[in-house]
Amino acid sequence: MAKGEILAGFLAPHPPHLVYGENPPQNEPRSQGGWEPLRWAYERARKSIEELKPDVLLVHSPHWMTHVGHHFLGVPRLSGKSVDPIFPNLFRYNFALDVDVELAEACAAEAAESGLVTQMMRNPNFRVDYGTITTLHMIRPQWDIPVVGISANNSPYYLNTKEGLGEMDLLGKATRRAIEKTGRRAVLLASNTLCHFHFHEEPEIPEDMSCEHPQNYAGYQWDMRIIDLLRRGRTKEVFELLPTFIEEAFAEIKSGAFTWMFAAMDYPEIPAELHGYGTVIGTGNAVMEWNLARLAEAARGQAA
Amino acid sequence: MPIVAAIILPGLPHPVLKPEISAWAQIAAASAAAGKALAAARPDSLLIYSTQWIAVLDQLWQARPEMDGIHVDENWYELGDLPFHIRTDTALAEACIAGTAEIGIRSKPVDYDSFPVDTGTLVAQHFLNEDAALPVVSTSNNLYHDWHKTEALGGVARSVAEKTGKRVAAIGVGGLSSRMFRAPIDPHTDHFAEPGDDAANRALLSRFEAGDCDGVRRQSADMAAAMPTDFGLKHLAFLLGATGGDFKGATVHGYGPIYGTGAAAVELHL
């Protein structure tokens, strides 16, 4: 078996509004559009996925929140209707997905080897959370690539940010080892918003974009600072700033997906491709890509 | 008196799904005893506030006339499924929604197929109303509402019940101390995650037993400031609002740990 590799990582936030705005057949509510710059950002990310042709998509979602350890979807096929408990008016999505159980088990085993508490989710009636589904739909609406779904253990909230993100670092490294050992060509999806300050009331027409803007100016400035650093490949600096960013911008990346993804990619100091940025009920959302496969190909080309 | 019963129940699913575990069996028995006390009060409807139904925008109220399904908890899926059937008192729900506007809280009805009813509401339904004989009004825990606002919300429910003339039982679903074990345990050895949590929980329950409403408020605030509690014990605030703080004492039908957290089934004497 060839050694597996991580082809790319994406910051791939999960506001259900993006699915609602797109009007796919799986989602019951109908919209008049909305949030186009972010949806077009995902269109560009979809093109990359099409070119990369990964074996598997791994997604870490803050909306599958587990208290006892890090959990992994462990049923070969899951289906049902996922209704967002916060935005049921926008997201009632009929999903069906295939799980790469072998890789999920390998990730769980590697993480356990690192001292983390892990658990495989084996209940076939389990309803997959809307964060996982939104990110997966937005990045690959064909649903033709198996997935590994990973829960957000509440360690950054239960312990403290540093200790919690320390666990996510271990989880990311374990994920990389599992991918390499199982020979998978994998794409990682960090399902996180940046600044998470939001409005507390919805406009009467949710997709009325005249009501959409950053809820918090300081949070917006933080988002731009972080995105600018990421676009320049200054990963180390970003992670030095991360605890302050999380605290001052109420950033959702506290839940761990961002750290998990970067740890799995070994914190590459490479420029990110920003596919787009936009707000959703005032929160800051960036769709960004770190294409390791393209980088490796360029390196091979230079060597030749 | 429109509020004819007031009950506190823990919302974790363990006593429903694994009653053979002795620690959880006593909570199950206590919850069933609270259910008997509730039935004796002959309510027309149940009013349920569950800490596990999280809302962020607006105050959400369940408005779907009937709901059936199988619920799987996102944490405790390995313990089994929770099948459910719920009838909603839609008239009372609509009245509550209209009533909250008067105290500056924007409410919304929720009427969607497959809406994910939270585990706490279903645990209460299991112990208090398993055959769905009584219609229910259930409402959410808005994360941005503090104790004071949640108590006011309970007060709205009381005044609405008064206007409708219905006999309503108020149910606050949630735990006490919420410090949970972060690694798997042998359930047969379940105990409090910290001894201090047990002491704080007992102090809180003693305030209920003494009919000391202000003492409940103080102890709840002290606990929420000093240790992890179930969403600041806002389900207790809702109950105080719903009863107007007018309870003479309480019967603690049972109290113990669930995976390290504090759980109690309590009947307030009105």
Tell me the pLDDT tens digit for each residue of A144-193: 999 999 999 977 677 788 888 899 999 999 999 999 999 999 999 999 99
- For A142-185, the DSSP string reads T--S-EEEEEEESHHHHS-HHHHHHHHHHHHHHHHHHHHHHT-E
CB of B259 less than 8 A from some CB of A:
yes
Total tally of structural domains belonging to chain B: 1
**A303: confidence class by pLDDT, cuts 50, 70, 90:** confident
Q: Is B88 inside a domain boundary?
A: yes
Site of tokens 């149940």: B46
Q: Are residues A152 and A104 in contact, defined by beta-carbon separation less than 8 angstroms?
A: no
pLDDT of A61 above 80: yes
Which chain A residues touch B106 with a CB distance below 8 Å?
A: 201
The predicted structure's pLDDT at residue A1: 79
Q: Are residues B114 and B72 in contact, defined by beta-carbon separation less than 8 angstroms?
A: no
Q: Are residues A121 and A73 in contact, defined by beta-carbon separation less than 8 angstroms?
A: yes
CA distance B237 to A253: 32
pLDDT of A230 above 70: yes
Q: Is B129 inside a domain boundary?
A: yes
CA distance B174 to B195: 20
Identity of the amino acid at A192: N
CB of B103 less than 8 A from some CB of A:
no
Best of B180, B182, B227 to substitute, by most chain A Cβ atoms within 10 angstroms, is: B182
Element (DSSP H or E) covering residue A78: strand A77-83
Q: Is B258 inside a domain boundary?
A: yes
Whether the full predicted model's pTM is greater than 0.90, yes or no, is: yes
Site of tokens 């709205």: B156
Q: Are residues A261 and A9 in contact, defined by beta-carbon separation less than 8 angstroms?
A: yes
Q: Residues A1-26: what's their mean pLDDT?
A: 96
ipTM of the complex: 0.92
CA distance A298 to A283: 36
The predicted structure's pLDDT at residue A298: 87
Q: Read off the CATH number of the domain in which B170 is found.
A: 3.40.830.10
Which residues neighbour A227 within 8 Å (Cβ) at sequence distance 6 or greater?
A194, A274, A277, A286, A288
**A2: confidence class by pLDDT, cuts 50, 70, 90:** confident
Q: Using DSSP, state whether A92 is helix, strand or coil.
A: strand
The 8-class DSSP code of residue A269 comes to -
CB of B58 less than 8 A from some CB of A:
yes
**A299: confidence class by pLDDT, cuts 50, 70, 90:** confident
B57 to chain A: closest CA residue: A200
Residue A1 C-alpha, separation from nearest chain B C-alpha, in angstroms: 34
Nearest to A202 among B57, B112, B259 (CB): B57
Q: Residues A77-87: what's their mean pLDDT?
A: 95
The bridge status of strand A185-190 relative to strand A77-83 is unpaired
Nearest to A201 among B75, B106, B112 (CB): B106
B131: number of Cβ within 10 Å: 7
pLDDT of A56 above 80: yes
Q: Are residues B173 and B11 in contact, defined by beta-carbon separation less than 8 angstroms?
A: yes
Residue A274 bridge partners (DSSP): A288
B149: number of Cβ within 10 Å: 17
Q: Using DSSP, state whether A293 is helix, strand or coil.
A: helix
CB of B81 less than 8 A from some CB of A:
yes
The predicted structure's pLDDT at residue B204: 98
Cα-based distances in Å from A207 to A30, A90, A202, B61, B242: 11, 10, 9, 23, 37
Q: Using DSSP, state whether A215 is helix, strand or coil.
A: coil
Q: Which string of b and e fits A249-271 if b means at least 16 CB within 10 Å?
A: bbbbbbbbbbbbbbbbbebeebe
pLDDT of A285 above 90: yes
Q: Residues A214-228: what's their mean pLDDT?
A: 96
Cα-based distances in Å from A165 to A154, A239, A242, B8: 10, 10, 10, 36
- Compute the half-sphere exposure of residue B185: CA atoms within 13 Å on the CB side of its CA: 19
Q: Is B6 inside a domain boundary?
A: no
Query: pLDDT tens string for chain B (270 positions)?
Result: 589 999 999 999 999 999 999 989 999 999 999 999 999 999 999 999 999 999 998 899 999 999 999 999 999 999 999 999 999 999 999 999 999 998 999 999 999 999 999 999 999 999 999 899 999 999 999 999 999 999 999 999 899 988 989 999 999 999 999 999 999 999 999 999 999 999 999 999 999 999 999 999 999 999 999 999 999 999 999 999 999 988 999 999 999 999 999 999 999 999
The predicted structure's pLDDT at residue B1: 58
Average pLDDT, chain A: 95
Largest pairwise CA distance in chain B: 50
Alpha helices in B165-261 (DSSP H): 195-209, 213-226, 234-243
% of chain A surpassing 70 pLDDT: 100
Best of B84, B112, B138 to substitute, by most chain A Cβ atoms within 10 angstroms, is: B112
Element (DSSP H or E) covering residue A278: strand A273-280
Alpha helices in chain A (DSSP H): 16-22, 36-52, 101-113, 130-139, 155-158, 161-182, 217-231, 235-249, 257-264, 292-303
Q: Express the helix, strand and coil content of chain B in percent, nearest 5 each.
A: 45, 25, 30
Q: Which string of b and e fits A217-242 if b means at least 16 CB within 10 Å?
A: eebbebbbebbebbeeebbeebbebb
Look up residue A132 and give its two tokens: 């996982």
Which chain B residues touch A281 with a CB distance below 8 Å?
A: 57
Q: Is B10 inside a domain boundary?
A: no
Which chain A residues touch B112 with a CB distance below 8 Å?
A: 83, 88-89, 92
Report residue B190: phi and psi, to 5°: -55, 140
* Ordered strands of the A118-121 beta sheet: A118-121, A70-73, A147-153, A56-66, A185-190, A5-11, A283-291, A273-280
pLDDT of A304 above 80: no
Q: Is B60 inside a domain boundary?
A: yes
CA distance B122 to B116: 11
Q: Residues A23-51: what's their mean pLDDT?
A: 98
Site of tokens 């699915």: A19
Q: Is B12 inside a domain boundary?
A: no
Residue B71 bridge partners (DSSP): B82
Contact B78 A123 (CB under 8 A): yes
Which residues neighbour B155 within 8 Å (Cβ) at sequence distance 6 or greater?
B103, B241, B242, B244
CB of B83 less than 8 A from some CB of A:
no
Q: Is B194 inside a domain boundary?
A: no
Which residues neighbour A95 within 8 Å (Cβ) at sequence distance 6 or greater?
A26, A78, A79, A80, A81, A82, A128, A133, A143
Contact A126 B72 (CB under 8 A): yes
**A200: confidence class by pLDDT, cuts 50, 70, 90:** confident
B77 to chain A: closest CA residue: A123
Residue A36 C-alpha, separation from nearest chain B C-alpha, in angstroms: 23
**Boundaries of domain holding B67:** 21-184+201-269
Identity of the amino acid at A221: Q
Contact A83 B116 (CB under 8 A): yes
Q: Residues A81-94: what's their mean pLDDT?
A: 95
Which chain B residues touch A125 with a CB distance below 8 Å?
A: 70, 72, 81
% of chain A surpassing 90 pLDDT: 89
Best of A65, A84, A125 to substitute, by most chain B Cβ atoms within 10 angstroms, is: A125
CA distance B151 to B156: 9
